[in-house]
Structure 1
Amino acid sequence: MEPLNWTGSLGTFLNPLMLWAVYAFIAAFLANMAMSIIGMRQADPIVNPDHTISYKLGPVDYALLVMKYAVFVFLGAIAVHIVAGILQPSHEARGIIGGLGARFLPVWIALIASFVLSIRFKRRLGLYGKLFDNLIGMIGFGLAMFWLFTAIFAPMIATHGAIDQVASMRNAVPGSAVAGGDEGLFAYYLLGGDNLGRDVFSRMIFGAREVLTIAPAATLFAFMVGITLGLPAGYMGGRFDTLITFVANLVLAFPVILLFYLLVTPEIVEAGVPVYMAAVLFILPVIFLWVLLYSRYRSQPHIIKWVAIPITLLLLLLYLGTVFRFDPFVWLATSFIGYLNQGNPVSEWMMTTRDSYEPLIGIPIDGNLLIVFVSVVFVNSPTVFRIVRGLVLDIKTRDYVAAAQTRGEGPWYIMLWEILPNARGPLIVDFCLRIGYTTILLGTLGFFGLGVDPESANWGSTINEGRALLRLYPHPPLPPALALMTLVLGLNLLADGLREESLKD
């Protein structure tokens, strides 16, 4: 089969249009730069005698309009290619761009549904709903949700397995037909192959799942740790505040990459340092949720008995199974059966495997994943702590805090149910930004070989693998690099939109 071209059957009509749009944008951009150098500016609005405002466009305004409409024309042509790729039946007619658009069909459907429902009910959705009154926020939301839906529907979107290799497709150019592979494979490598014959497009898709599995969860844990320590430090002050602030500054002064290199050294891993760090960091969210529930419902014993205590016990079991791989129910069952059936071969087998069982309750975090997760939480927590502490120092002087103190409310109730809700705006914005920072950090770790797994499809390791042959074969590292860039850009724009809308309250 012949390799695919980029634009398929519509390229004859749309390629010249896209090319002229690029030329017009470059020419208008250079003209705008030249006019800025000589001091020309946009025209000022004119106030008419009837107090209406009109605009008389100047050369700078026309240059900006040309740039604006050139971008619209280019993006419109891409959108036509994507829609045509969904509608056209053959790979050759779709081309690479149309083929990519067709593979992302579940994502387009989910994006359209989320936008329609969010805009329809935006007045009932609080700060999230106000986001759809902000163009920047909507663009950021769209980019972030695009990659989130990509991670969710990754098996439906990817054309091949993340680690499947076809020897004949090593360093294959985008659109190459698969030759020498197993029967039933997708007929093309849409974005080419890497140096091992793996599909670049599929690795990019599965890489989104790895990044968006770790980054939000690690950021959430970092926030819970930072909030748990920052609230009492800012509200109560004293020696506790001094000690925690000193430790936070000490961690922030430590080079991040050096910290990761230390944590992955065999001596540190064998000494169990990552497990000890996980034991300390992961218990703080459990404490946070218990104090949150107890401080709110301490006057309602039935809720404490039937809601707060069971939730806390379940979280403790989850904590033990995740950090220590220990499930007390399984351990007691195997011990009891071994005691009753001494000498029984089944009993002996269960006794010998008791220390290597899989807990029924717990999240399997093994190998480098635990190290990466703990390190990301450890690095981000001090920054979150300082933000929370600063917000608490400001909010605790407000009148509603004094009113709660006058009512006789306890310190933890005031911190968690009076101060924390009123700090949610800056914290939500920082949470979105910090997911982006964590994504970049995970990519950096993968680039340096400190990621989850050298064989994994995470974007950082994929970029690192492709950089050695970048001059000869630029296509393997570019898709994950662009994916990383657009995800972080979307999160930053989303945070900007949320910040602007929260300031209007």
Structure 2
Amino acid sequence: MRIPTAALFGLFFTGLYFFVAIFAGFIAPYGLGEIVGDVWEPARLGYFLGLTPDGYDEPQYWLGTDQIGRDLLTRMIYGGQTTIWIATMATILSFTTGTIMGFVAAVNGGWIDQALSRFIDLVMSIPSLIVALVVLSVLDTTILTLILVMGLLDSTRVFRLARAVAVDITVMDYVEAARLRGERVGWIIFREILPNALSPLVAEMGLRFIFMVLFISTLSFLGIGVQPPAADWGGIVKDNKDGINFGIGAALYPAVAIATLAISVNLVADWILNRTTSLKGGRG
């Protein structure tokens, strides 16, 4: 099987980010909250690229330090762990909830379909960010709360896709044959519809994962996401944004990480979608 160059690029960087997130405790050179130097010390990486201001010896820290002197590389590693963990758990919750509701609505039809669809339309009529801001301003902002709020809000998008795909599949001959045999709704969903709906769902999962990364980063940048002393990429941007006024690029590293992860996952999702575009016949 020949994997396109773009997909290889995506697989490499996606795997790299997840590897670093899983083994953050072994890879990070310092403790998460450990103050190791002065404020916004220059990066060793910038020194090698000729970007370090004159008058500095070779810097000690690869990405420099943040606004209170913590090692920025360590913060990026632990921040990536938090961001990817929350985004992954929220994506799983979103797809589990949204897919089940979408398939149930498509298979049953009638008032069940109408009730679920109109409820989802009502929720989607309010921007997700506004709902999250309201809910998180009332509740304690914990990682569990963030996962639940993000996952349940995003499940409305998954519901629309899952229902649309399932409606097309339920009219297939093998699904009708399963109904005539007297198969239960659960059997039809998991044995007939789900295997044939995996292609668009898997591709959409990659896109929703990136949306979750952007969502949690946005919430943290606004101050209602991941709370100190924990770190995430959006919070690192928020903490170091003032340094841009002085030519300090500390806030740019997490932005580059988010962009690279988004591009990588999208390349992988596109490759998976291209390989599995045609629906497979179910067991009649």
Same fold (TM over 0.5): yes
CA distance in 1, matches of 2:224, 2:163: 32
Q: How does 1:323-334 map to 2 (within 5 A)?
A: none
CA distance in 1, matches of 2:247, 2:39: 10
Q: How does 1:70-469 map to 2 (within 5 A)?
A: 133-166=3-36, 168-175=37-44, 188-265=60-137, 268-269=138-139, 367-469=141-243
What secondary structure, in the 3-state scheme, does the structure 2 residue paired with 1:133 have? coil
CA contact (8 A) 2:40 2:248 kept: no
Distance 1:195 1:429, change over 3 A: same
- Deviation digits for residues 45-71 of structure 1, max 9, x if unmatched? xxxxxxxxxxxxxxxxxxxxxxxxxxx
What secondary structure, in the 3-state scheme, does the structure 1 residue paired with 2:243 have? coil
CA contact (8 A) 1:144 1:491 kept: yes
CA contact (8 A) 1:445 1:451 kept: yes
- Offset of 1:204 from its aligned partner? 0.6
- Offset of 1:469 from its aligned partner? 2.1
CA contact (8 A) 2:103 2:162 kept: yes
CA distance in 2, matches of 1:412, 1:151: 36
CA contact (8 A) 1:222 1:377 kept: yes
CA contact (8 A) 1:191 1:475 kept: no
What secondary structure, in the 3-state scheme, does the structure 1 residue paired with 2:245 have? coil
- Offset of 1:504 from its aligned partner? 6.1
Matched with 1:481 is 255
- Deviation digits for residues 146-183 of structure 1, max 9, x if unmatched? 100111221222111121113x4211011299xxxxxx
One-letter amino acid matched to 1:229: M
- Gaps of at least 5 residues in structure 2 are 48-58, 280-284
Matched with 1:501 is 275
- Deviation digits for residues 12-65 of structure 1, max 9, x if unmatched? xxxxxxxxxxxxxxxxxxxxxxxxxxxxxxxxxxxxxxxxxxxxxxxxxxxxxx
Aligned residues: 267
One-letter amino acid matched to 2:75: R
CA contact (8 A) 2:44 2:62 kept: yes
One-letter amino acid matched to 1:498: I
Q: How does 1:19-30 map to 2 (within 5 A)?
A: none
CA distance in 1, matches of 2:193, 2:178: 10
- Deviation digits for residues 280-334 of structure 1, max 9, x if unmatched? xxxxxxxxxxxxxxxxxxxxxxxxxxxxxxxxxxxxxxxxxxxxxxxxxxxxxxx
- Offset of 1:434 from its aligned partner? 0.9
CA distance in 2, matches of 1:240, 1:504: 29
One-letter amino acid matched to 1:401: V
- Offset of 1:418 from its aligned partner? 0.6
CA distance in 2, matches of 1:134, 1:250: 41
- Deviation digits for residues 225-251 of structure 1, max 9, x if unmatched? 112211111111111111111111111
CA distance in 1, matches of 2:242, 2:75: 18
- Offset of 1:435 from its aligned partner? 0.7
CA distance in 2, matches of 1:196, 1:383: 40
CA distance in 1, matches of 2:15, 2:123: 33
CA distance in 2, matches of 1:148, 1:494: 14
- Deviation digits for residues 178-237 of structure 1, max 9, x if unmatched? xxxxxxxxx921111111001111111111111121111111111111122111111111
Higher relative contact order (CA 8 A, sep 6+): 2
One-letter amino acid matched to 2:20: T
CA contact (8 A) 1:192 1:475 kept: no
CA contact (8 A) 2:207 2:266 kept: yes
CA RMSD between the two structures: 1.9
One-letter amino acid matched to 1:457: A
**TM-score, normalised via structure 2 length:** 0.88
Which structure would you say has the larger Rg? Answer: 1
- Gaps of at least 5 residues in structure 1 are 1-129, 178-186, 270-365
CA distance in 2, matches of 1:503, 1:245: 26
- Offset of 1:368 from its aligned partner? 2.1
One-letter amino acid matched to 1:429: A
CA distance in 1, matches of 2:128, 2:228: 20
Distance 1:477 1:139, change over 3 A: same
- Offset of 1:367 from its aligned partner? 4.5
One-letter amino acid matched to 2:10: G
What secondary structure, in the 3-state scheme, does the structure 2 residue paired with 1:503 have? coil
**TM-score, normalised via structure 1 length:** 0.51
